[in-house]
């Protein structure tokens, strides 16, 4: 007896579209890899920018903190007639130099800057103080006592002594990556008032 006939199709010849699915899948994978590389590069760049911004803000706030104790140091120097001795603050120059500069006795050419330094880890803060002269207070004693001219406590001579305070902070992570910030403040000291931060 003859063998039963089977319905097996004849082998098809590959057409021009047989490899298209493979090529399409490879192209989609390549596109996804490129998107991943781009996202990684963008994320790394954003992290570097954020780190630099953070370092800049930290060093700015360190410089700003350098201004904070200066009014109190000026008040101490003026009331004791000598350089103030405050723990953690290094007054530069020969003894009496800080007092002379606060009082305005030092000629412009002989002034040293910075006048003091202090650590603010991981930063180093340097502060220069320049005596800029005296100005009469606006108004009379009654207006001054009432606060019309700012902080005051009645007739205290009617003068304000002007200072310019320059604070600079530096943060060195690597030799090529110094981050610096500077803050300049104009401060008026009114003799006879508390002045400065307690």
Please report whether residue 96 resides in a domain. yes
**What average pLDDT does range 153-170 have in this prediction?**
76
Please report whether residue 53 resides in a domain. no
**What average pLDDT does range 112-122 have in this prediction?**
85
Q: Please report the pLDDT score of residue 26 as a whole number.
A: 93
Into how many domains does the chain fold? Answer: 1
pTM value is 0.67
149 pLDDT higher than 50: no
Nearest Cα residue to 77 out of 88, 91, 62: 91
End-to-end CA distance of the chain: 119
Please report whether residue 5 resides in a domain. no
- Please provide the DSSP assignment of 63-113 as one string: HHHHHTTHHHHHHHHHHHTS----TT-EE-SSTTHHHHHHHT-S-GGG--S
- Which residues in 142-168 are b (16+ Cβ under 10 Å) and which e? eebeeeebeebeeebebebbebebbbb
Domain span at 98: 60-189
Please report whether residue 25 resides in a domain. no
Please report whether residue 128 resides in a domain. yes
Please report whether residue 173 resides in a domain. yes
List all residues 6 or more positions away from 86 whose beta carbon is below 8 Å from its beta carbon.
69, 73, 76
Nearest Cα residue to 195 out of 85, 78, 104: 78
The rounded percent of the chain whose pLDDT value lies above 90 is 21
The rounded percent of the chain whose pLDDT value lies above 70 is 76
Cα 93 to Cα 10, 78, 87, 150, distances in angstroms: 103, 18, 17, 34
Could you read off the pLDDT of 43-62 as tens digits, one per residue?
999 998 998 888 889 899 98
Q: Please report the pLDDT score of residue 152 as a whole number.
A: 46
Please report whether residue 41 resides in a domain. no
150 pLDDT higher than 50: no
Nearest Cα residue to 183 out of 78, 32, 82, 66: 66
Please report whether residue 181 resides in a domain. yes
Q: Please report the pLDDT score of residue 192 as a whole number.
A: 73
Could you read off the pLDDT of 14-50 as tens digits, one per residue?
666 667 888 889 999 999 999 999 999 999 999 989 9
Cα 150 to Cα 135, 167, 188, distances in angstroms: 14, 24, 10
What is the separation of C-alpha 134 from the centre of its chain, rounded to a whole number of angstroms?
Answer: 31
């Amino acid at each position: 007896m003859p063998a039963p006939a089977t319905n097996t199709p004849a082998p098809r010849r590959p057409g021009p579209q047989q490899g298209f699915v493979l090529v399409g899948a490879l192209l989609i994978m390549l596109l996804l890899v490129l998107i991943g590389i781009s996202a990684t590069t963008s994320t790394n760049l954003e992290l570097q920018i954020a780190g630099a911004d953070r370092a800049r803000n930290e060093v700015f706030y360190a410089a700003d903190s350098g201004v904070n104790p200066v009014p109190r140091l000026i008040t101490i120097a003026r009331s004791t007639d000598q350089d103030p001795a405050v723990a953690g603050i290094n007054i530069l120059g020969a003894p009496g130099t800080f007092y002379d500069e606060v009082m305005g006795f030092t000629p412009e050419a002989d002034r040293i800057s910075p006048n003091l330094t202090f650590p603010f880890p991981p930063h180093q803060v340097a502060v220069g103080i320049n005596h800029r002269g005296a100005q009469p207070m606006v108004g009379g004693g009654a207006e001054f006592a009432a606060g019309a001219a700012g902080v005051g406590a009645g007739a205290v001579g009617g003068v304000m002594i002007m200072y310019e305070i320059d604070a600079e902070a530096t943060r060195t992570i690597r030799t090529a990556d110094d981050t610096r910030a500077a803050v300049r403040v104009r401060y008026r000291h009114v003799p006879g008032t508390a002045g400065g931060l307690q």
